[in-house]
Amino acid sequence: MTEGDHVLAADGFVAVRDIAPAAETHLLVLPERHVATFRDVSAFPDEEAGRMLRFVAEVAAAAGLEDYRVIVNVGAAAGQTIFHLHWHVLAGNALPGFH
């Protein structure tokens, strides 16, 4: 897997630009520690899980986003292709899909 440009880092977490963006802004937020899927999020202590969610919001704010979508694909049938827990932060004109 090719790594995207780093945009922000915090203790235990990193955000990168997606190398194949599906929106005008497409960032990936990942924990540095390996957890395969959101299904296994209980592997994180409550405090760390909370920091992880706050970091997702910080990434969006640091990117200057006010209106955006956060997506987690869980499992291959749901579109997960990289089996390391990550959030997609998408923004831009006319995001397709859910309304």
Phi, psi of 42 (to 5 degrees): -65, -10
Q: Which residues contact 53 (CB under 8 A, 6 or more apart)?
A: none
Catalytic residue flag (residue 88): no
Backbone angles phi, psi at 70, to 5 degrees: -115, 125
From the candidates 6, 34, 86, 99, give the one annotated as an active-site residue.
Answer: 86
CA gap 28, 93 in Å, rounded: 18
Active site residues: 86
